[in-house]
Structures are given as C-alpha cells and as structure tokens.
Structure 1
C-alpha cells in the first residue's frame, strides 16, 4: 500500500512543510531555478508525487541524517546528498532487518499500513553524493547552506535557508532526543552542535523532523542545559553502559552511560 495522504503547509513563500502520515516531516524549498527536498520520509508515502504537485523544477534531495525514517523514501529519487560520516550508517540500516523494523514500527504509518520489510529492502537505491558539511546551494532566488552538526548521528547536518532565515535541523535537538543508538556521537560531542543551534535560533526559525515540527529557542536552550547537567553528573564513561534518560521525564535526553564522553576523554 502506497500512501498519498501527505499534508502540506506553507511556511513562507517557496518553503513547504510536508507531513508524512506518521509524523515524519520533510521540507521543500522552491527557488527560481531549482528546488530542494530536505529528507524524504519512511518510504511508504508518495513523497515524490507530493513534491511534483508543488514544483516541476530540477530537484536536489538532502538527507539530514542516516536514519531510515528520514531517507526511506530515497528510492523514489535518482540521487541523494548525505554527509560522509553517515554513509556507512545509512548502508548498515538498509541491510539490517532489526534496525529497519525498529524505525518503521515506531510510527503510525507502519501500524496502519501492511509492511513487507523484504520488499522495502529491495527498493531501488539512489546514487549517494557525499557531503562534507560546508556545502552551499544556489536555487535561484534562495540560498541554502549545510552545517555539520554531529550528535544524533555522527553525520547529522542542519540545512539552512539563508534567504528566509529558517534552519531544518533533523533530529539533533528535540524532545526525547535519542543519543543511544549505534552511530550516535557522545553527549560531549553533541553539545557544541546543540549550542550552535541555540545561538542560531535567536535569529532563525528552527524546524525538526517529528511531532511539533517547530522548535522554539527557549526549548533548545533547555535541552542544552540538560546536556551540560549530564556532563556534570558523570565524570567518565561507565565501563558497563546502561540506558538512561535525563531528566526523568518524557522529553528528557536518552543516552548511554558508556557514551557520555568522546572515547579517551574524561573529566
């Protein structure tokens, strides 16, 4: 079953919020000469069709990070841009039945739609264009840059619409932030990326990949504070890593006690 019920909301002229039925969000920037799709959902929805209802311009597809809920729809496109540090993660997730199942069954789409994981794995694979995290794209009357923000994954990036002052941050700062999966940076390595996003949020609107969609500056600041408090609570990585959530509330940061500091670092 291929879903077509993708809601579209205009953020500003030429910038659209595409809402996959399971609260996995994609964003479209339409310039004068080219367009850019930021993330492409799980792959069970006609994201390409939704884009083509909005523009027929040549399209670039940029992936904020290598988790299947953000690149699963990439099979609908010939090329995708991915940070070089997430290329291996992306390929590992495509090959791993267990990891695909974890992400796919986390959303409402997978619950509502009959899912064949083997069929999903056999979809066409696009050409991957590796990014360094300092790219710049001229779409015509809209200028877009990419900033490397390691944390939720080592290759996470923020995509910045410089013209409209909007940042699309993926899942690197959010409620119930995941810093516990394979391919995740330590809390110490993530914190500068979160601090950067907070500073930018004073002048830029910030949109992420799920639930509320838009992130307010005050909330980003709070998540940064929680990260600092985690570093204050733990002086080194635990030898036996355990899952923890801090603070112990539904939107706290989820991390592993063996991955608080970059390997070899401690306080």
Structure 2
C-alpha cells in the first residue's frame, strides 16, 4: 500500500479544497492557493501526509493545527511550517502529544493496536514498532491577520470548548469552514477532556451562528463527520441554546461508559454533550 495515495482517501469538496481522510475517521482539509497552500490538521501520523499534499498542490504547504489532541498532530512533524492556536503553544514553541494533557499519551498506540487486530493493512514501509507521535516546532497562528495564500486570505477564528486553543479556518471564496472537533464523532460534543469548557462552547456556537447568518460559510467540515450544509446547519443554534441550558442546570443527564471512562451525557436532539462526572 502506497503511503500517500493508497493510504489516504481524498475528495475535492470545493474549488481548490480537498478533504483528506486517514484510516476511515481522521479528517483534514487542504486549501490550495496561488502562492502557498494550507493543510489543516495532521491526522494519526501513519501515512506520508507531506508527500500527499505536495502531490496535490505545487505551492509550499503550511500546516495549521485546529488543536493539539493526538489525532490532529500525527504528521505535523513532517512539515517545516506549523501554526498552532496560542493557548496550546508552549513557551518553548515545541508541541508534543502531552503538551495540552497527558490523557492521550497512549492513544496512538491504542489506535494502531485496534487497527492491526481488525486485520487492516498499513502503508508499505511503515514500521509498527517505531510508531510514535514526534514532537515538532510551531509558531502562533495569526488569528487576527489570517493567512494570505496569494489569491485570497484564509480567515482564522477561535473556537474553544472542546480544546482551549481550537481554531477554525474559513475560506471566504468558497464558503467552506473547517472546525476541527467543534463537533466530534456523530456530532457529539466532547467536553470531558482537560481544557474542555462549556461556557466557551456557548460563545463558539454563537460565533458560528453569526458567521453562517452573515453568509460567510454554507459548509461546515469537521474532522470526524460528513460535511454539514443547508438546513442541517440549524444544529449550531440548537447546540448553542442547549449548552447554555446545561450551564443553567435545565438539562437532565445520564452516566455513560466511554473508552475514556464514565462521563455525564446530556442529550440535545441527536447530539450527546459529554462532560466529566464531576462537572
């Protein structure tokens, strides 16, 4: 299996915009520009993401991390130019899997173990015994200025809640906004990890609703879901209001058993908001 084309699934979702999926569930987005291109997030780090992006585009590629959880930083060390939201950037500028929290120190190994136990293939030349997420140098993402890629400027928006430094990347030319884990698997909200913040989530959904209503985007991409468009974007205000009700004590919850341990689970429509037991 080739480490680039055969390992990743690639779909063009808009003009000069590619959705890249690794291992059937770890999503990234590549925005192609005239002077440089931007890939947002780095997946699980098994494949040659740098090689893939340089096959897809001819301009230099900057890596932007929506946040620094393990499944978003995997291949970041393959890139020379990496940008991270300031709240998740260490003072020495070096990002590692345990920079934000030690909750994910064993997550990559657990992923690989599940993958092998299921009998799935790995890229040619990949050494399972040597698999680890390497640390890398990063600089602050220019949230105020955005990222000039030649023919247009990508806009950056803080979207905390799931992680303190999470940022979204908006291409105003196509109306595509990539929001990392603003909605997690099955459009659930994962607020149970260190740095999760329900109050920040309310502000994040308010930001997204305002941007949508202003016509800034009509397609929301996330790492672990299908694109959200049209009437489905009404989920944003539903979650804004529902999370606010959780904070006000007006929502019931049940205890759910997850691979991360027991959590509180608050249903809001088809979404479950997962928070720590003691929050």
User: Normalising TM by the smaller chain, what interval?
Assistant: 0.7 to 0.9
Structure 1 partner of 2:211: 200
User: TM-score normalised to the size of structure 2?
Assistant: 0.78
Structure 1 residue 140 corresponds to structure 2 residue 142: no
**Aligned-pair distance for 1:106?**
5.4
Structure 1 partner of 2:272: 252
Root mean square deviation of aligned Cα: 3.1
**CA distance change for structure 1 residues 122 and 136 in 2, over 3 Å: closer, same or farther?**
closer
**Aligned-pair distance for 1:35?**
0.6
**Aligned-pair distance for 1:198?**
2.3
Tell me the alpha carbon deviations over residues 73-125 of structure 1, each in whole angstroms, 9 at most, x when there is no partner: 112112310011112495352698761323663587575468988734474x3
Structure 1 partner of 2:56: 54
Contact 2:95 2:137 in 1 (8 A): no
Unaligned runs of 5+ in 1: 236-241, 260-267
Secondary structure at the residue paired with 2:194? coil
Structure 2 partner of 1:14: 16
User: TM-score normalised to the size of structure 1?
Assistant: 0.81
Structure 2 partner of 1:190: 201
Query: How many angstroms apart in 1 are the aligned matches of 2:95 and 2:136?
Result: 12
2:96 to 73, 76, 91: 91
Query: How many angstroms apart in 1 are the aligned matches of 2:192 and 2:250?
Result: 16
**CA distance change for structure 1 residues 249 and 11 in 2, over 3 Å: closer, same or farther?**
closer
Structure 1 residue 101 corresponds to structure 2 residue 103: no
**CA distance change for structure 1 residues 122 and 201 in 2, over 3 Å: closer, same or farther?**
closer
Structure 1 residue 221 corresponds to structure 2 residue 237: yes
Unaligned runs of 5+ in 2: 252-261
2:193 to 178, 181, 184: 181
> Structure 1 stretch 14-23 or stretch 248-257: which is displaced more?
248-257
**CA distance change for structure 1 residues 166 and 98 in 2, over 3 Å: closer, same or farther?**
closer
**CA distance change for structure 1 residues 54 and 2 in 2, over 3 Å: closer, same or farther?**
closer
Tell me the alpha carbon deviations over residues 201-229 of structure 1, each in whole angstroms, 9 at most, x when there is no partner: 34212111113243631122222232122
Structure 1 partner of 2:254: none
Secondary structure at the residue paired with 1:105? helix
Query: How many angstroms apart in 1 are the aligned matches of 2:233 and 2:35?
Result: 32
Tell me the alpha carbon deviations over residues 56-78 of structure 1, each in whole angstroms, 9 at most, x when there is no partner: 21111100011111111112112
**Aligned-pair distance for 1:40?**
1.2
Contact 1:65 1:157 in 2 (8 A): yes
Contact 2:64 2:141 in 1 (8 A): no
Count of paired positions: 251
